[in-house]
Amino acid sequence: MQRMQSMAEGYGVAVAQFAPSDDAVGNRGEITRLADLAVARGARLVVFPEYSSYFTPEPGEDWLTAAEPIGGAFTTHLAALADRLGVHLVAGMIERLDRPGDAAGARRVANTVVAIAPGAGVVARYRKLHLYDAFGQQESAWVAPGAIEPPETFEAGGIRFGLQTCYDARFPEVTRRIVDAGADVVCMPAEWVRGPLKEAHWRVLTTARALENTVYVAAADHAPPVGAGNSMIVDPMGVEVVTIGEATDVAVAWISKERIETVRRVNPALALRRFDVTPR
């Protein structure tokens, strides 16, 4: 009875947690299984992790081979799945860039998030702005940063969604720009690498991005052993509504614009701020 009441009160959004591998076909199969499970639990939109199309713990030449264009096997599979289930899907992928090299003369791919709508295919995309050149890693050796462009958003269930990725959570201006573009929910696929205090950083930063912007954040991470897990949906008051621990699983929360409006009456932080975000 409680589940039926929750479904009636909001729009079902799920975070799906798994550990993508270098088996692209296997990854698509796991996405299908988890999407079916999420829909069975009431979801109308499902967020999958960063690098859901292909992943190895250390990027290398194989990433160049595994990269796909928008419209390749990965997004085609997602579109067919969205059509079959009648739901929106958000997932990270390695995107092939249609150029022989970048300004530095290196061959690199894009770390891209796509949003897929039933009957419409790709309705929004986001290329990761801040690359993970931290904690001993150097993502930029193989991945090109996205251009600073107006955020792309899309609507589902009368709610507006925006996109960002993983390490971008450490830069609050990224989320603020997405919210300024009208997003009520920020979908954040991630591959948050495990390490000392990293799980604490993940939880604090994800919560802060929701709380300071009075929006929902739906953050889907990789399952261990490489990822920290703890995929979660946080509401506009900073409440961790649902969380997945270390398991491969999905978790569903029912979100509503009414909750956002109620929180913003109590905490009108967006209306009271005195600064805008400008790119550098």
pLDDT in tens, 90-132: 999 999 997 655 554 458 999 999 999 999 999 999 999 999 9
pLDDT at 186: 98
Please check whether residue 99 is in contact with residue 116, taking contact to mean a CB–CB distance below 8 angstroms. no
Structure tokens at 28: 């698509």
Q: What percent of the chain has pLDDT over 70?
A: 94
Closest CA to 189 of 59, 92, 114: 92
d(CA 107, CA 273): 41
- Best CA proximity match to 200, nearest among 172, 178, 230: 230
Average pLDDT of 135-159? 93
CATH number (domain holding residue 145): 3.60.110.10
With H, G, I as helix, E, B as strand and everything else as coil, classify residue 105.
Answer: coil
Residue 33 in any domain: the answer is yes
Task: Name the phi and psi angles at 23, rounded to 5.
Answer: -100, 95
Specify if 108 maps to a domain: yes
Is there a domain that residue 74 lies in?
A: yes
Amino acid at 224: P
- 278 inside domain: no
Q: Which two tokens stand for residue 267?
A: 């905490």
Query: Residue 203 in 3-state DSSP?
Result: helix
pLDDT beyond 60 at 6: no
> pLDDT class for 5, splitting at 50, 70, 90?
very low
In a domain, 280, yes or no: no
pTM passes above 0.75: yes
Phi and psi at 173, nearest 5°, equal -65, -25
Q: Is position 209 within any domain?
A: yes
Cβ(109)–Cβ(97) below 8 Å: yes
Predicted local confidence at residue 137, as pLDDT: 87
pLDDT tens track for 229-254: 999 999 999 999 999 999 999 999 99
User: What is the count of structural domains for the chain?
Assistant: 1
Rounded to an integer, what distance in angstroms lies between the CA atom of residue 35 and that of residue 32? 5
Q: Could you give the 3-state DSSP secondary structure of residue 225?
A: coil
Separation of alpha carbons 116 and 119, rounded Å: 9
Q: Render the burial of 86-100: b for 16+ CB within 10 Å, e for the rest.
A: ebbbbbbbbbbbeee
* pLDDT of amino acid 136: 87
Position 194, amino acid:
R
Residues facing residue 222 across a β-bridge = 18
Provide the percentage of residues in the chain whose pLDDT is more than 90: 88
pLDDT at 280: 84
Pairing of strands 216-220, 185-189: parallel
Residue 53: which domain range?
Answer: 2-269
In a domain, 129, yes or no: yes
Domain assignment present for residue 148? The answer is yes
Active site residues: 50, 128, 166
Question: Residue for token digits 């009456």?
Answer: 265
Sorted by sequence, the CB contacts under 8 Å of residue 120 that are 6+ apart come out as: none
Q: What is the pLDDT of residue 99?
A: 61
Mean predicted lDDT score pLDDT of the chain: 93
| Predicted pLDDT at 8 | 53
Q: Residues 12-52: pLDDT tens digits?
A: 999 999 999 999 999 999 999 999 999 999 999 999 999 99
